[in-house]
Every structure is written in structure tokens, then in C-alpha cells.
Amino acid sequence: MVNSNKRRRSRNLKCSNPEVSILKGIPASPGIAIGHAHILDLERMSVKEIDIEESRVEVEVKRFEKAVAKTKKDFASIQRKIANQLGEEKARIFDAHLLMLEDTMAIDETVDRIKKQKKNAEFIFFQNLENVRKTLLDTGDEYLRERAVDLQDVERRVLRNLAGDGQESFDRPEGQSIVLAKFLTPSDTAQLDRNKVLGFVTDLGGRTSHAAIMARSLEIPAVVGLKEVTQKVCPGDLLVIDGVHGIVIVNPDERTLLEYEEKQKLFIEHDLELLSLRDEPAATLDGRSIELQANIELPDEVETALSHGARGIGLFRTEYLYLARSDLPSESEQYEAYASVAERMNPDPVVIRTLDLGGDKFVSGLNIAPEPNPYLGWRAIRICLERKDIFKMQLRAILKASIHGNIRIMFPMISGLGELQEVKKFYYEVQQELREDGIPFNEDCHIGVMIEVPAAALVARELSQEVDFFSIGTNDLIQYTIAVDRGNEKIAYLFNHFHPAVLKFIQMIITAGKERGIWTGLCGEMAGDPLCVWLLLGMGLDEFSMSPIALPEAKRLIRTITYKEALEIANEALSFTKAKDVEDFLRKQLHERLGEIPL
């Protein structure tokens, strides 16, 4: 019923004349790795459709249920292994797998269809999961595409257990090597010996892929999203992985190899220096303190944030509690997630962004219809103001959690004063409802807006009268300002945070905040770009929020300059009229002041 034999691709002819090539992908975990390629052959199983006689239907159902039970045990065993190696936080990756095996769509529906259609379990189960997987892949959202890999992980293991073949589906590297695969599922990574893996390289995946997450946890370099790297590289080829720039060099020449060996040495020394700064304050040489905080998507990421020196959570993306599920999270489920983060970070602040669905993120429970231009459509606060039942549930959960720590609430996609005032009116109604119910919450919970559309930037002075803080969402602000879809590969080169118009908007927002006496942060990818740290510092930014892994470098840069010097750099950078001139100037400043650093 299942053909579990791995199809081996012959590489002998292809590999007879190794050539030097440079491949560009997505930087997923920083560092330099040099080693020989070990290619994991993870071909998908072929599933045949077989008719089942009426008398064998119950036997088929029992066979399927037995395979599911065995798969649960497999994942529980892997989860324990990961917990022992990397801690409980990383082991919770497999919570989603175990939940999928409880999901009625995947399990009960398969049983029902086996009985109705009288087909073999493999075929029915494969069809069910493929439909869901295709839906996730078609959303265009990176996070959901990675959850499709989780689904495939479950699918493959159930099918192997149905076939009675519980053995691992690939050859592990015998010595230290760089692992290449089309993609890596969580159970794939769990099977690898961490002492033998120098780095990961994959055809598919993004920064939220499990290969990337695991690589960052193990602190080994990784480059993902290389498309056809497994077809271009041969087993045993010498590789250089540059996890900072997302580059893979195949069969480097002697000069290139020596160059990267030196870069590897510098990176290790630099990394050790950064680790020593974890508990040091983020303050300039002349004493200006800066809030350095982390962006997180799930409660489990708090430990990573703390280990990299975060002094708060500047952006908790709550929509990820809603994604990759068929229902909506309950109030108690949300409360537990928010409270756990607040308690762990207390007394440092936790900025919780209210639901930001739509655009490229969809939830089946909301029935969001396809739109011609979803980024300009029904999304974020617009959904919340129409679906106030969902908005109320989230606000209640956040407010109830606020007694467990220093929670701040941030509303996304605000485009004008009237919209903000409508949001605040509803927010106060929810507060009053809690008071009447005798439910305690922090009466002084700060509220703010995420400024990510040009209209909000232009009326920042008016908005500042209504809130306690601003947080600049540069990812959307850039795409709306320059009119460029950041997910469109054809025009990706236009997406540039050094564009003078973008910088003028940022300066306008910071100035409006200072005039009102409220603090301004920035939580887009720009905050974690080392070239931008001195620029944003000099522009008067109060708080930087970024991926945890970027925090140590940002702290080091803040501690190597005076605020006066940063102000001079920012003033000159803002005088340029072209993005390239801004970037070149900032790169020159960094090199002249600090010399060669691994950027």
C-alpha cells in the first residue's frame, strides 16, 4: 500500500567535474561553517488507492488507529529527546504534531471515509492531509507554509507506521558535515547527531522553518530557501555556509577557503565578545540608555529572548495563536499565553499587539474571503472593529493577564484619529465590563499604536494625544510608502529601509512622540539591521525591538558610540537623496569606527 523504498538519484556523472558556484538563499542562523556535504534523501512516499471489501473495513480502521497510536508514541519519544538536549521550550515544537493527531479532520474524518468509501487507510489519510497542506501552502504566509511541513512530518510517519516500517527514512551523517535537504521536518532534525552537524542548507523554508529554529537553538549556521541546492550539490562537495548573508559557496578555491576560514575565526571571537555583554546595559558612552527588546511569536520564545539579553518584549505577535487551526482560541487559552509571558518577563514590559490577521495571514474561523488586494483590504484593526466579539475576547484576556506583569497593549494598522478613538471607546467598554464582573486588571495598562501606514505617520501629532507610546512597524511602512510588495521577488530590490522617504516618516513619528512626551519604539526588521542602529539612535528612537538573535550585536553597537556622535551620523544620513548613498555612508561609518566586523 505504501512504497517506502527511497529513490536514489545517481550523481556519478554530475559529480565527476566539481565546479565552484555561489548560491544565494535566506540567512536563517548566523555564523560561518566549512565542511563536506551530506545530502538527506527524503523522497515522499507513493500511496496507492486500493478498494477494501466490506468485511475488511473494520480491520482497516483498526490498522489505521494502531498506526496513529504508534505515531503519537514516536513523537512523544522524540519530544523527550529534544527536551533533554535543548530544554522543554524547544521540545514544545512537537506539541503541534501531537495536536494534529487528535484533530478530527485528520483522524475521525479518515475513519469515516474509510467506512464510507471502502478505501485503504493510506489513501484516505493522504488525501485528507494533502488538502489541508495545500491550503496552508497557498496562503502565501511564511509561518503557515512552515506549518505545512509539520503536517507532512505527521503524514510521513503515520504512513510509515501503516506500512510497518518504523525505521528512519534517511542515512545519518557518519562524520562532521553540512546537512542538505529539500526541507527538514522537526523529527528529521531530532534524528541528527548535533555533534556531527556543522550547518543546515535547504531548498525550501524561511526563518520560521524548523531547520532554521533548530539551527539557531544549536547556534550553528544555516541558509534556507535555496530552491534547488540539493540538485546542484553533490555528496562530499566542500561547502562554505555564510549564515549572515545567506550565501553557500560550493567547492571554493584556495583563496576563498582561506578568506572564509579567517572570517569564521573572527565570527567566533566576535560572538564570544557579544555573549559577554548579555547582562550589561544598553547605554551609549555618554550615558543615554536605550530599551532593547525582543519580537516574539509564541510564548516559548521568551527564554530565547532572555538568553540574548532582552529587557522586555517589544512585540508579541498574537495572531500566531490563531493560525494553523480550524477554530478560534478561547479567552482562557489566550489569557494563559499572555500571562505566562508577562510573568516570565516581569518587571520588564511586554507589548502585546492585538490581532493582525488578513493581508497574508488567514484563519478559517474568521471566514475571510479572498480579496483582490488583501494588504489594502479587511485586515488587522479593521477586522477587530467589525468582529467585536473576537476583539472583546482578546482584550479581556490581555487585561486579565495584565495583573501578572508589565503588559502594554498595541493596536495595529491604525490609519487615522477617528479609527483610534473608536478603538479606545470599545477598549474602555471592555474595561468597564470587567469591573462590573469583579475581575481584576491593571487600571494603568499603557496603550499604544503601531504606526505602519503613511497616513498614520502624517497625523502622528494628533495620534500622540491619545496614546502612551508609538511603535513603528517598518515592514509595512516601507511597502506602503514605496508601493512595493515585499513578497514579490520581481521588485524585492525596491524594498529598502534606507529610502529617504521612509527615513523622513520615521523622523516625523519620533519627533511627534517627543513633542508629546511619549516614547517611540521600532519593531520592524530595520531595528535588527546593524547598519541602522546608530542611525535610529541618532534620530532619537527610545526603544529597539528585534529578533532575539540580533540583540547582542545591537547592544554592542549602542555601547561603542556617544549619543552626540550618533546624532551627527543621523543628521548627515538624512541629508542624502538616494537610498544607496545612505547605505554606503552608514557602512563607511561602521567600518571606520569599528573596523572589520561580521556583518
Query: Is residue 360 domain-resident?
Result: yes
Q: What is the pLDDT of residue 10?
A: 40
Residue 293: CATH number of its domain: 3.20.20.60
Q: Give the Cα separation of 241 and 247 in Å (integer).
A: 6
Q: Count CB neighbours of 453 within 10 A.
A: 21
Burial of 259 (C-beta count, 10 Å sphere; 0-12/13-18/19+):
middle
Query: Is residue 55 domain-resident?
Result: yes
Residues 423 and 464 in one domain: yes
Query: Is residue 152 domain-resident?
Result: yes
Active-site entry in 234, 384, 445, 523: 523
Q: Give the Cα separation of 417 and 465 in Å (integer).
A: 10
Of 273, 302, 323, the residue that ends a domain is: 273
Query: Is residue 599 domain-resident?
Result: no
Residue 107 makes CB contacts below 8 A (sequence gap 6+) with: 68, 101
136: its cell numbers: 496552508
Q: What is the pLDDT of residue 386?
A: 92
- Rg of the chain in Å (alpha carbons): 25
Q: Give the Cα separation of 342 and 402 in Å (integer).
A: 7
Query: Is residue 302 domain-resident?
Result: yes
Residue 326 parent element (H or E):
none
48: its cell numbers: 496507492
Residues 189 and 74 in one domain: no
The answer to whether 508 and 477 have CB atoms below 8 angstroms apart is: no
Residues 213 and 362 in one domain: no
Residues 303 and 253 in one domain: no
Query: Is residue 167 domain-resident?
Result: no
406: its cell numbers: 508589565
Angle between helices 579-594 and 530-538 (to 10 degrees): 100
Residues 222 and 110 in one domain: no
Residues 61 and 16 in one domain: no
Residues 267 and 283 in one domain: no
Q: What is the pLDDT of residue 16?
A: 47
Residue 196 makes CB contacts below 8 A (sequence gap 6+) with: 172, 173, 174, 175, 176, 177
SS3 of residue 585 by DSSP: helix
Of 273, 295, 329, the residue that ends a domain is: 273
Active-site entry in 210, 270, 446, 497: 210
Query: Is residue 2 domain-resident?
Result: no
Q: What is the pLDDT of residue 13?
A: 38
Of 273, 299, 316, the residue that ends a domain is: 273
Residues 208 and 75 in one domain: no
Q: What is the pLDDT of residue 169?
A: 46
Q: What is the pLDDT of residue 11?
A: 41
Residues 186 and 150 in one domain: no
Query: Is residue 216 domain-resident?
Result: yes
Residues 252 and 325 in one domain: no
Q: ∠ CA 201-18-43 to the nearest 5 degrees?
A: 45
Domain count, the chain: 3
Catalytic residue check, 210: yes
Residues 503 and 377 in one domain: yes
Q: What is the pLDDT of residue 84?
A: 65
pTM for the predicted model, two decimal places: 0.69
Residues 29 and 82 in one domain: no
Tell me which residues of the chain have a pLDDT lower than 50. Answer: 2-14, 16-17, 166-170, 364
Question: Minimal CA–CA distance to 413: which of 444, 385, 372, 445?
Answer: 385
Q: ∠ CA 38-43-45 to the nearest 5 degrees?
A: 150
Residue 124: CATH number of its domain: 1.10.274.10
β-strand 2-3 against 46-47: which pairing, if any?
antiparallel
Q: Which domain holds residue 226?
A: 11-39+172-273
Q: Give the Cα separation of 412 and 523 in Å (integer).
A: 12
Q: What is the pLDDT of residue 229?
A: 87
121: its cell numbers: 487507510
Each residue of 299-325: pLDDT tens digit? 878 988 998 899 999 999 998 787 655
Terminal Cα distance for the chain, rounded: 51
